[in-house]
Amino acid sequence: MDGRPCSKVACTTDAVSTLTWVYADSMAVLGPLSRSADPHSYDLCEKHADRLSVPQGWQVVRHVSLGS
């Protein structure tokens, strides 16, 4: 493992996405892996990012990287 690990318990896969929550707007925002770790966000591997579920009534905003 060269990068940051997935935040899910017992997952040893490298993270590829960062998840943040906007509680006031009932929104989860999933985007490319942030440049640095933030204790208020979750870094997820591809599998866990694809399986993301949120509370009923919440929306998910998925940002994708269009290039490097």
| pLDDT tens string 11-24 | 999 999 999 999 99
So where are the chain's domains? 1-68
3-state secondary structure of 24: helix
| pLDDT tens string 45-65 | 999 999 999 999 999 999 977
Q: What is the pTM of this model?
A: 0.87
3-state secondary structure of 50: helix
CA 18/CA 34 separation, integer angstroms:
6
